Amino acid sequence: MTIIFLCSNLFSCNGQVKEKYDANIKENEVNTQPLILNQNTTFPQIHTNLNGMVREFVRTMYQDNKGNYWFGTNGDGIIRYDGQILEKITIAGINQRFRVLEIVEDKAGSLWFGTSEGLIKYDGKEFTTFSKKERLQNEEIWGLTIDKSGLIWVGSTRGVNQFDGEKFIPFSLPDSKAENAKPMLSDKLVFKIIEDRNATMWFATDGNGIFKYNNGKFTHLTTQNGLVDNNTADILEDSQGNIWIGTFYGGVSKFDGKTYTNFTKDGIIAGEETYNFYEDSQGNIWLTAEGYGVYRYDGNNFKQFTTEDGLTSNVTQSILEDKKGQVWFGSWQGLCIFDGEKFMDAKLKEPWTH
């Protein structure tokens, strides 16, 4: 599944609405908006695929401070629901078959999208694309975060950039290499970037472990000093200050700053390929384990959810809790929602997803 995951993710201005679905149209009214219900899909989508707009899967989800839902897809660009219209957005000047891996929001309410076509900004009125022309190191973006000072950090296949809103500045990680480093895509790729509560930046790399950066000093975490696997896939700081680390070959660990607890090696959870960490409003940590569904950690115990519990697929690609407290899950087979008691097709809870 690692090969499928990576290959499926390598698809290679003003926003304009191309396709829409109006949630306010009543049952007996004629919907004159164009529908796309017959697109070819890689896998059969047994749950909603957002009115046929998603051919593969939703790679990332976000709900902004105004309540708008944003869906970043794997090859079908950006889809938005503003409370009335579900719409696919095109952006002038770029290939519309782009994928979206990260969505973040700045203090001014502008949204930033890390995509296969560069860094895209939406200020509430128009979309602006930043690419190599603006000195972005590479347009294939995987990691994206905004630190407490408002500086934007961008991780691409050619390394890391800092962006202050005006110019991109290369940010070099140390040349030190993990023992037997085996990058899958690029030895400069950073999959994930986060800033912790102590203003330390964390960089999860492709095959070279994790770099920590604070006050001009780097620390390199690898299997030689406690990391379970150098092929890191995801990192999250939880509300207790623990760092959760997901890997491609070593499962999931929790790091308290001194000690690693590897739940996979200890046999507590199944699946060596883990990522898509998410902490909900109740403090539960959710994560996906490739082929084994999703896990929820309540601070004491893990609970596994699979298709037997109503999950759309045991290969889940994205997680989001919305402002209603519903937890969304995106997979090859479509979107489902967990309402705190059970999983169901998202359109049963949110008809606008159709």
Which H, E and C letters describe the chain, residue by residue? CHHHHHHHCCCCCCEEEEEEEECCCCCCCCCCCCCCCCCCCCCCCCCCCCCCCCCCCEEEEEECCCCCEEEEECCCCEEEECCCEEEEEEECCCCCCCCEEEEEECCCCCEEEEECCEEEEECCCCEEEECHHHCCCCCCEEEEEECCCCCEEEEECCEEEEECCCCEEEECCCCCCCCCCCCCCCCCCEEEEEECCCCCEEEEECCCCEEEEECCEEEEECHHHCCCCCCEEEEEECCCCCEEEEECCCCEEEECCCCEEECCCCCCCCCCCEEEEEECCCCCEEEEECCCCEEEECCCCEEEECHHHCCCCCCEEEEEECCCCCEEEEECCEEEEECCCCEEEHHHHCHHHC
- Lookup result for tokens 């690692």: 2
In a domain, 260, yes or no: no
pLDDT in tens, the chain (354 residues): 544 455 454 433 334 334 454 544 333 332 333 333 445 666 788 999 999 999 999 999 999 999 999 999 999 999 999 999 999 998 999 998 999 999 999 999 999 999 999 999 999 999 999 999 999 999 999 999 999 999 999 999 999 999 999 999 999 999 999 998 899 999 999 999 999 999 999 999 999 999 999 999 999 999 999 999 999 999 999 999 999 999 999 999 999 999 999 999 989 999 999 999 999 999 999 999 999 999 999 999 999 999 999 999 999 999 999 999 999 999 999 999 999 999 999 999 999 998
What is residue 20's predicted lDDT score, i.e. its pLDDT?
A: 52
**Residues 157/107, Cβ–Cβ less than 8 Å:** no
In a domain, 186, yes or no: yes
> What is the domain count for the chain?
1
Tokens describing residue 31: 């919907």
Q: Is residue 93 part of a domain?
A: no
Structure-token pair, residue 332: 């090859």
The set of residues, in sequence order, having a beta carbon less than 8 Å from that of 197 and lying 6+ positions away, is: 237, 241
What is the rounded CA–CA span in Å between residue 62 and residue 109? Answer: 13
pLDDT of 41: 64
Are 240 and 226 in contact by the 8 Å Cβ rule? The answer is: no
| CB 235, CB 210: distance < 8 Å | yes
Q: Would 291 be classed as within a structural domain? A: no
Side by side, the strands of the sheet bearing 243-247 are 232-237, 243-247, 252-255, 260-262
Has residue 59 been placed in a domain?
A: no
> Which pLDDT does position 29 carry in this prediction?
34
Domain that holds residue 204: 131-212
Instruction: Kindly state whether residue 55 falls inside one of the protein's structural domains.
Output: no
Which pTM was predicted?
0.90
- Domain membership of residue 245 (yes or no) is no
Taken in order 311, 103, 95, 31, is the CA torsion positive or negative? positive
Closest among 142, 64, 75, 71 to 104, alpha carbons compared: 64
Decide if 295 is inside a domain: no
The reported pLDDT for the residue numbered 354 is: 87
